[in-house]
Every structure is written in structure tokens, then in C-alpha cells.
A and B are shown apart, each in its own frame.
Chain A
Amino acid sequence: MSAISLTATQQLERLESGQLASVELTQAYLDRIKEVDGQVGAFLRVDAEAALATAAKIDEQRASGKPLGRLAGLPVSVKDVLCMHGEMTTCGSKILENFRSPYDATAIARLKAADAVLIGRTNMDEFAMGGSTENSAFHCTHNPWNLDCSPGGSSGGAAACVAASMAPLSVGTDTGGSIRQPAAFCGVTGMKPTYGRVSRYGLVAFASSLDQVGPLARTAADAALLLEVLAGHDPNDSTSADVPVPRYAETIAKPLQGLRIGLAGEHFSEGLSAETESALREAVRVFESLGGKVHDISLPHSKYGIATYYIIAPSEASSNLARYDGVHYGYRTDEQQLIAELSAERKQLTEADDPHTLDRLDTTLVRMYRKTRSEGFGPEVKRRIMLGTYALSAGYYDAYYLKALKVRRLIHNDFVEAFKQVDVILGPTSPVPAFKLGEKLQDPLSMYLVDLYTVSANLAGIPGISIPCGQSPEGLPIGLQLQAPAFEEERLLRASHMFQQATDWHQKVPEIS
């Protein structure tokens, strides 16, 4: 049996006992990447040489009895949105094509300190904006279960790479569902931790009050291992929480007695596909057979989640992405061409005797910003910047942004009420299994609606996990989402592990052909 068919937890045991060398394991994954990534497209860059060098160093240190980090020798892939010192970080965008980070993100520093083998950078929707990974400026990623389908997004490369056994562990980010939805589409386990659980330092910002770094893996036990390394307070991120981090991987196997499971009527209404609903009902029966008790709850404001999210996230994005100005780093438009273009316009307006328009002509600097950004950003990023700028502009601020912040409070309060009665909320991750590539590209709103069940956790700041719980008649994975109160990741991981002990959906692997 090849080492890459083992879980990360099993691989780690073999690495620690000396049965498996990190070089051997890393090489096995590099071979697998070579074999299938031409079809899947999960990676933007694979760093084989550096990965093998790190692996060799760790094997050597282990042989000489040196103490090693928590993930010593395990390959980990990282979404191309976390800064790594001296390395490229593109965020799937042309505007950052030539950017090399001058420092490590805290998540990266923690992985390095844990002696993980950083194997490569995964594809994503540009600046994490999208739900299909089709918005990457470089290439699109295919779902390993059906290459005509999307892997979901924005962490589509991360989910596809775990599903296709190209890495045992992967780090993603989730602003409105970007870990959980691709995890569901690709049949893997993915968690968005509580806001503040993992440092955002060095995570290229999309929507700062919603962004969170989290793990993708085949099993909840593997996700626990990775989260343990990523989580913790960081003075470099003033929004990171100074809350002790449990040893998730140690408590994972402890079953939860009498788990109270909330089912919200709002999660089982219009728009939920029949195959997803029946897979969820079956999953509820599994939890009941494990001693879980089902309670009906209500999240009356969850229906406003998408509208709230698509005001708040673009507003924050329009502000965060102002930094891409063609001055500090990344792409800049051709200056000679820009100056020629402006003088031609000036000449034309002078000849046409149009002083009014001439007066409003962009200055060279403003035109440099505008051309740089228009050439560097893709359509979805432009759309969100426009939407956010509009929502924050004079005359609309109260009606959109301020109103959305108030509805955000109502969504948050719904969870506070629900968690007085239940320990976890069980529902769908996505209303539908993976859709076809290209299917939603012309209709941004229909793409946004796929986030229906995931955005609320980001708005409320609570943790959510997606685990595989079934397959559609076409053989596409279906995911269920569990949500818990803030800082109760341990509860989500243990509940997911209980489920995975009783089912085998997480063990299914796609045939890539």
C-alpha cells in the first residue's frame, strides 16, 4: 500500500517510528502531483527541490535524535494567499504576479516551526473572491471527482489537492465559505475556525472582519492535527484571540455524550437539492444512533445572510484592495503608453474645444492607478470593488453598509439563542453538489447564492466544519456542515470524528481519468 493512501495521522505515526522517511513520503506526493495535476490543476507552483531538501533535513534530524515539531516530515500545501518570505504570493491575481513577500505569515511561520514540508501553493479564486476557482488569473482547477465540474472555491486548489491525494494536509482561508464549500464539493474535511483563532498576520486581506485561516484534510483527526499547529494568539494580529488552544489531536477520539444537535428549518427549505437533503437526513440518523438528540431550532435571520455578506465583504474588500496601486508592489501599467494615451486625449479635447471634459481628465497619477488596476484585476474582483465602493459612497452608507451591520447583529443573535438549546447545528454546507465549470460564470448572483449556508458563520464569527456525508446519483460528494459556539472547534472535531468512525464517506477517493 502506498504511503499516500494513509491519513496524515497514520503517516505521522510511521514517520515518528522510523517506518517511513519524509523524503520517501514527499517524493510519493511529488510523483502523484506529476501524475494527476496536469488534469486537476490544483497547484499554482510546486516546489519539489525545496520540499525534498526540507524532508531530507528532517529525516537527518530525526535519525540523530533531535527534537522535532508537531508535523515533522508531513507534506502540507498552502493556498497562495499566505505570505512566505522570499517566495511568490499571487492570490491568483495578475496584479501580484511578480510579488515576493518580505516576511512569513504567522500561519507559515508556525508550519515551519512544526517542521512541516511545504510542498507547493494551491490555486484559488482571485483574492479569494469566488466559489468555483474559475476566477484565478492563471488557470482553473477541476474537481477530481468529475473533471468537468468545479472544485468549489475559493480554496478549490486546496480541496482538490487533498481529494486527489496530492497532499495529506492543506491550508485554506474562509471568508464566506471558501474552505467549507470546496471541502464539500471535493469530498474532504474542511474547517473555518472561530474568528480570531488563527492569526491573520501575513494573510493577504480580503474582508478583514470575516477572513479566517483553516485546515483541509481527509479526516477530522487530520484537520485537528493541523489546526493545533495553526491556532493560537499572535501579538502581530490584534484581532487574534488570547484564548488557550486545546490539544485537538489528543481529545479527538473522545466521544461526546448526549450531543444535542440543532436542525434549523431555514436550512431545509427551498433551494436545497433533494440528494443533499436525503444525505443530511441519513447523517442525522447516524448521529442519533451514536446517542445524539435532535432539537428543532430556528435561525430566522439566516435568509438575509447573503444580502448582508455581499454588502459587508465587498465594502471591506474595496478598502483593503486600495493598496494595489502600482506603486508599492506588483504590476504597473506601461508608463510610456499611458502618457501617450493621455496626451492624445488632451489634444483631442482641446481641438474639440471641450474645456469641461478637459478639466475632468485624469491626472497622470490617477490614470496610472486606474489603468494598473483595470489591467491587473479580473472581472469578479472589479465587481466587488465597485459594489463595495458604491455601498460605502455618500448617500448610500446608511442604507446599505450600516443596515448590513445591524442585520449582522441579528444573525449573530440568532446563533446565541440557538446555542442555548443545542451543542451543534447540523445543516448543509452547500445547497447543491459541485456544479459544472462555466455554469455560473455569466451570472454572478447565482454564484453568490451558493454561499447561502456558509456566510452566517463568518458574519457571526463562529466555527464551522464540512465533512463528507454522501454522494449524489452522479457520484459527486455531498457535505454536511456542523456549527458550534465561538472557540468550540474541539466540539466540532470530536463530533465529526464520531461520524467518521461510523461512516466511510471520508474514505472514498476519486478515480481520476
Chain B
Amino acid sequence: MSISREEVAKVALLARLQLSDDELDTMTEQLSRIVGYVEQLSEPDTDQVEPMAHAMDIANVFAPDEVRPSLDRAEALASAPHHDGQCYRVPAVLGEA
């Protein structure tokens, strides 16, 4: 099966990627080939098969409900590209920048 260029452009928006025209062409061709290969998954009968999301059969691992120190704010902010010492800064979200 092949994926259309429009579909690839839509997925790029969902994935928060911006692809150039060239990248869109290459990506369309490459994703189509990979998805074509993956089509073989339709061969085995899996009607009665339980999906396996995880290799370990564990669920609901609880930690004791106790107060512990969290990451220091200055350290948490230290690698941010833009911050004001208290919060992360981003471009204006509302209205025009």
C-alpha cells in the first residue's frame, strides 16, 4: 500500500515536524516502502490472540505515599533554552507576537 503526499504532510503536522518539499517527497517514498513491507502482518491469524503491550506481566506497581524532595527548580530550569528563573518561557500563545 502506498501513502499519499497529503497524508504524509498531515502526519508531519500531528508529529510537530516541518518537512521541506524534498523531505516530503523522500518521506512519502520511504514510508510507503516500509508500510508495504509491514503489510505482511496481516498474514497470521490473530483473532484469538491477546495483544502484548509489554514483556513483563506486571500492573499497578505502587510506591509508598510519602513526601520526598523533588528536583531543585534551578537545576530543572538549567537546561531550558529560555526561562525567567521561575518558569519556562515560550513565544506568545495568545494573540499576535
B67 touches A (CB below 8 Å): no
User: Are B53 and A405 neighbours in the complex by a CB distance under 8 Å?
Assistant: yes
What residues on B are CB-neighbors of A386 within 8 Å?
Answer: 8, 11-12, 15, 17, 27, 31
Q: Is the CB of A335 within 8 A of B46?
A: no
CB distance from A109 to the nearest CB of B (A): 15
Q: List residues of A (356-387) whose CB comes within 8 Å of B's CBs.
A: 363-371, 373-374, 377, 382-383, 385-387
Q: Within 8 Å of chain B (Cβ to Cβ): is A412?
A: yes
| Cross-interface CB contact of A385 among B17, B18, B37, B53, cutoff 8 Å | B17
Q: Is the CB–CB distance between A338 and B35 below 8 Å?
A: no
**Residues 1-39 of chain B, each 1 if its beta carbon lies under 8 Å from chain A, else 0:** 001000110011111111100010001001101110110
Minimum C-beta distance from A371 to chain B (A): 6
Contact between chains at B44 and A307 (CB < 8 Å) = no
Chain B residues with Cβ below 8 Å from A241 are: 56
**Complex alpha-carbon distance, A405 and B17, angstroms:** 26
Q: When each residue 35-68 of chain B gets 1 if its CB lies under 8 Å from chain A and 0 otherwise, what string results?
A: 1011011111010011111111010010100000
Assess whether B55 is in contact with A195, with CB atoms less than 8 Å apart: yes
Chain B contacts with A in 66-88, Cβ cutoff 8 A: 71-72, 75-76, 78-82, 88
Q: Is A400 an interface residue (CB 8 A)?
A: yes
Contact B19 A368 (CB under 8 A): no
Where chain B touches its partner, the secondary structure class is loop
> A239-B56, A386-B11, A412-B52 are known contacts. Are A310 and B34 too (CB-CB below 8 A)?
yes
Q: Are B56 and A332 in contact (CB under 8 A)?
A: no
The answer to whether A383 and B30 have CB atoms under 8 Å apart is yes
For B, the interface residue count at a CB cutoff of 8 angstroms equals 53
CB within 8 Å for A445 and B44 given contacts A328-B80, A386-B11: no
Chain A: how many interface residues by the 8 Å CB criterion?
Answer: 74
Given contacts A304-B40, A383-B27, contact A408 B90 (CB under 8 A): no
* Shortest Cβ gap from B57 to chain A (Å): 10
Is B55 in contact with A209, judged by CB distance below 8 angstroms?
yes
User: Contacts A311-B38, A369-B16 known; A409 to B55 CB distance under 8 Å?
Assistant: no
A327 proximity list for chain B (CB < 8 A)? 80-81, 88, 90
- Flag if A307 contacts B41 (CB, 8 Å): yes
Q: Report B-chain residues with C-beta under 8 Å of the C-beta of A338.
A: 91
Contact of A102 with B46 at beta-carbon distance under 8 Å, contacts A364-B91, A400-B41 already known: no
Of residues 206 through 220 on chain A, the ones whose CB sits less than 8 Å from some CB of chain B are: 209-210
Residues on the B chain within 8 Å of A304, using CB? 40-41, 43-44
From 129 to 185 in chain A, residues with beta carbon under 8 angstroms from any chain B beta carbon are none
Give Cα A307–Cα B71 distance, bound, in whole angstroms. 40
Query: C-beta contact mask, A335-355 vs B, less than 8 Å → 1, else 0?
Result: 100110010000000000000
The interface residues of chain A lying within 8 Å CB-to-CB of B33 are 445
- Please, which residues of chain B bring their CB within 8 A of the CB of A448? 34
Contact between chains at A409 and B51 (CB < 8 Å): yes
- Chain A residue, CB-CB nearest to B79: A329
Across the two chains, which residue of chain A brings its CB closest to B43?
A304
Q: A389-B15, A445-B33 are in contact. Are A239 and B54 (CB under 8 A)?
A: yes
CB of B80 within 8 A of CB of A445, answer no
In the complex the two chains form, is A373's CB within 8 Å of B71's CB?
no
- Write out the residue numbers on chain B whose beta carbons fall within 8 Å of the beta carbon of A322: 16
Residues in chain A near residue B40, CB distance under 8 A: 304, 307
Q: How far is the CB of B48 from chain A (nearest CB, A)?
A: 9
Chain B residue contacts of A335, Cβ below 8 A: 82, 91
85-127 of chain A: CB within 8 A of chain B: 98-100, 102-103
Give A370 to B12 CA distance when docked, in angstroms: 9
Q: Does A501 contact B (CB under 8 A)?
A: no
Q: Are A409 and B49 in contact (CB under 8 A)?
A: yes
CA distance A399 to B38 in the complex (A): 10
Task: Give Cα distance in the complex from A370 to B20, angstroms.
Answer: 12
A368 to B46, CA, bound (A): 42
A325 and B16 within 8 A (CB)? yes
Which residues on A sit within 8 Å (CB–CB) of B71?
102-103
Chain B nearest CB: distance from A440 CB in Å?
13
Q: A436 CB to closest chain B CB, in angstroms?
A: 21
Contacts of A103 in B (CB 8 A): 71
- What's the Cα separation between A331 and B79 when bound, in Å? 9
With A and B bound together, what is the CA distance between A406 and B50 in angstroms?
Answer: 6
Residues of B within 8 A of A (CB): 3, 7-8, 11-19, 23, 27, 30-31, 33-35, 37-38, 40-44, 46, 49-56, 58, 61, 63, 71-72, 75-76, 78-82, 88, 90-93, 97
Listed A/B pairs (28) with beta-carbon separation below 8 Å = A102-B71, A196-B56, A235-B63, A304-B40, A304-B43, A306-B37, A307-B38, A310-B38, A322-B16, A327-B80, A327-B81, A327-B90, A328-B88, A335-B91, A365-B90, A373-B15, A374-B18, A374-B19, A385-B17, A389-B11, A389-B14, A390-B35, A405-B53, A407-B41, A408-B52, A409-B51, A448-B34, A458-B55
Given A387-B31, A390-B35, 9 more A-B residue pairs with CB atoms under 8 Å apart are A102-B75, A304-B40, A311-B38, A328-B80, A364-B93, A386-B8, A386-B15, A399-B42, A403-B41
The 8 closest A-B pairs by CB, nearest first: A461-B55, A405-B51, A332-B81, A329-B79, A406-B46, A370-B18, A238-B61, A409-B52
